[in-house]
Amino acid sequence: MRPPPGRQQLSREFIARHQRARIIAALAEETVSRGYRAVTVADIVSRAGIARNTFYENFSSKEDCFLAAQDYAVEEALRRVVEAASAVESWPARVDAGLAAFLGYVAEEPALARTCIVEALSAGPDSLARYEQSLQAFGPLFRIGRKVSPHGEELPATLEETVIGGIFWVIYQRIIQGDTERIEELRPDLVEFALTPYIGADAAKRALAE
Amino acid sequence: MPADQPNSVDAEHEYPPELSRLPPGRHGLPREFVVHNQRERLIAGLAEAIAENGYASTTIAHITRHAAVSRRTFYEHFNSKDECFVAAYDTVMAELSERIENAFQQESDWPQAVRAGLAAMLEFLAAEPNLARLCMVESLVAGPVVVERYDAAIQGLVPYLEAGREGRSEEVLSRLSPTTEEALVGGMVSLISRRIIAGQAAELGELLPDLVEFALTPYIGSDEASKVARA
């Protein structure tokens, strides 16, 4: 039998996790106020209120921290989307719930959203590639739609990629226009956009009305 | 003849006809033509240097070496790498837009016009992987000026799809939302960029049926869209 974890061990793990989140939040805030290129590790450290050493215990560089922020945000977004989608039955309802959760997250964390959806594109080739990669984490939620689609596997093989890319492009545009506060209003449009190729526009409209 | 006439031309590379190099040696061409050609050569040189090194690591020495012109010639045309990039971006995007526009206008039937426009876009990008990378990927990391132009260029594709609303029934129109075209364009561009990032620019032509079906479905339904796509 394993001994129960010591108090110190637990709290150290808790502090470490908390510290990472705090540094990531500081990076996002600094990125929004200065633009990613201008941000220095010193800015992040000072905003997070931590020692420079603490930063380097967690990340090797600003770039490393940025990629970690992207991973962190995608993981958290995915967690929220899956949780919301699992709470309802039908596929259209799942897409609706998932998108609502996603847009809610963007509205709740505007700095992190701007960092990961807008700045990630221009921060450099690595983060751009990471961004394009991570979008596809949402693929399975949409791919289920093929099972309820009359066209199933006859649908274009790239459909999920284009649907997700389209949703992110619209959100991207709203963020650069400084319209994050009303981002949740996009929900019906985006749900319809996502459902239509799978089940047709009429069924999508009906599903939305329910 | 200008003093900075290149003394070596690397024949290993292939260039798009509109960005081709001057033949070596005395050519007696008017100065204006030479200047114009040097500019295009620098742009092609930039595209190659970026494909090799990425934008951030590209230096003016890389550019002039690929373009086979002197450093002085570079500075006669551009003040900086960024300025050269903006010129390159504008040139490539203008060419791409013109090809899309011409192809689109040649078809009177809207679904066919969308198909033709998309085919022209994919064909250009597939034939010129370096330029594809320059305008669809590196433009995003080249600073805010270019990002703004890139966004505007992508949004500039929206009217081609909006034209599909014309003459549709009330029923169809009521199902479209104000963001339909934006989302369709963004989805297509995202897929194209992903393929370019993955080093698959040369195979972009294969995406044509998928993109046509995706773009047309909201307007003419998936059965009809699939027919146009696979014709």
Domain boundaries, chain B: 17-78, 82-230
A26 min Cα distance to partner chain B (Å): 22
**Per-residue pLDDT at B1 exceeds 70:** no
Domain boundaries, chain A: 67-209
What pLDDT, on the 0 to 100 scale, is given for residue A178? 85
- Asked if B23 reaches chain A (Cβ–Cβ under 8 Å), the answer is no
What pLDDT, on the 0 to 100 scale, is given for residue A126? 85
Q: List A residues 86-125 in contact with B (Cβ-Cβ < 8 A).
A: 121-125
What pLDDT, on the 0 to 100 scale, is given for residue B143? 79
What pLDDT, on the 0 to 100 scale, is given for residue B85? 94
What single-letter amino acid sits at B12?
Answer: E
**Per-residue pLDDT at B22 exceeds 60:** no
What single-letter amino acid sits at B2?
Answer: P
Q: Which option is the CATH number for B82-230: 1.10.357.10, 1.20.210.10, 1.10.340.30, 3.40.630.30? A: 1.10.357.10
Cβ-proximal residues to B222 (8 Å cutoff; 6+ apart), any chain:
A151, A155, A197, A200, B213
What pLDDT, on the 0 to 100 scale, is given for residue B182? 96
Considering only CB atoms, B140 lies closest to which of A128, A162, A173, namely A128
pLDDT in tens, B126-149: 999 999 999 999 998 887 889 899
Residue linked to tokens 């093989």:
A157
Decide which of B7 and B73 is more confident. B73
| Cross-chain Cβ contact A122/B193 below 8 Å | no
Cβ burial of A71 (10 Å; 0-12, 13-18, 19+) is middle
**Per-residue pLDDT at B117 exceeds 60:** yes
Summarize the confidence of residues B10-18 as an average pLDDT: 43
**Per-residue pLDDT at B41 exceeds 70:** yes
What pLDDT, on the 0 to 100 scale, is given for residue B11? 39
**Percent of chain A scoring above 90 in pLDDT:** 71
Cβ-proximal residues to B173 (8 Å cutoff; 6+ apart), any chain:
B165
Please report, for residues B68, B93, B120, B127, B184, the alpha-carbon distance to residue B102 in angstroms, rounded to integers and kept in the order given: 33, 14, 9, 18, 21
- CB count within 10 Å of CB A187 equals 16
- Asked if A14 reaches chain B (Cβ–Cβ under 8 Å), the answer is no
**Per-residue pLDDT at A193 exceeds 50:** yes
Q: Which residue of A has its CA nearest to B177?
A: A189
What pLDDT, on the 0 to 100 scale, is given for residue B76? 94
**Percent of chain B scoring above 90 in pLDDT:** 70
What pLDDT, on the 0 to 100 scale, is given for residue B3? 42
B17-78: CATH architecture: Orthogonal Bundle (1.10)
**Per-residue pLDDT at A11 exceeds 90:** no
Interface ipTM above 0.90: no
**Per-residue pLDDT at A54 exceeds 50:** yes
| Cross-chain Cβ contact A172/B194 below 8 Å | no
Q: List B residues 45-64 in contact with A (Cβ-Cβ < 8 A).
A: 54, 56
CB B67 within 8 A of CB B8: no
What pLDDT, on the 0 to 100 scale, is given for residue B33? 60
- Asked if B219 reaches chain A (Cβ–Cβ under 8 Å), the answer is no
Summarize the confidence of residues A99-123 as an average pLDDT: 93
Highest mean pLDDT: which range of A132-141, A161-170, B19-28 = A161-170
| Cross-chain Cβ contact B189/A201 below 8 Å | no
CB B176 within 8 A of CB B202: no
Q: pLDDT band at A10, cuts 50/70/90?
A: low
Lowest mean pLDDT among A9-13, A81-85, A107-111, A182-186: A9-13
pTM: 0.85
Q: List A residues 156-185 in contact with B (Cβ-Cβ < 8 A).
A: 156-159, 161-170, 172-173, 176
What pLDDT, on the 0 to 100 scale, is given for residue A106? 95
pLDDT in tens, A124-137: 888 888 898 888 89
Summarize the confidence of residues A24-53 as an average pLDDT: 94
**Per-residue pLDDT at A6 exceeds 60:** no
Summarize the confidence of residues A135-156 as an average pLDDT: 92
Average pLDDT, chain A: 90
What pLDDT, on the 0 to 100 scale, is given for residue B35? 63
Average pLDDT, chain B: 87
**Per-residue pLDDT at B202 exceeds 80:** yes
**Long-range residue pairs from B146-153, CB within 8 A, at least 24 positions apart, any chain:** B146/B85, B146/B86, B146/B89, B147/A121, B147/A122, B149/B86, B149/B89, B149/B90, B149/B93, B150/B89, B151/A173, B151/A176, B153/B93, B153/B97
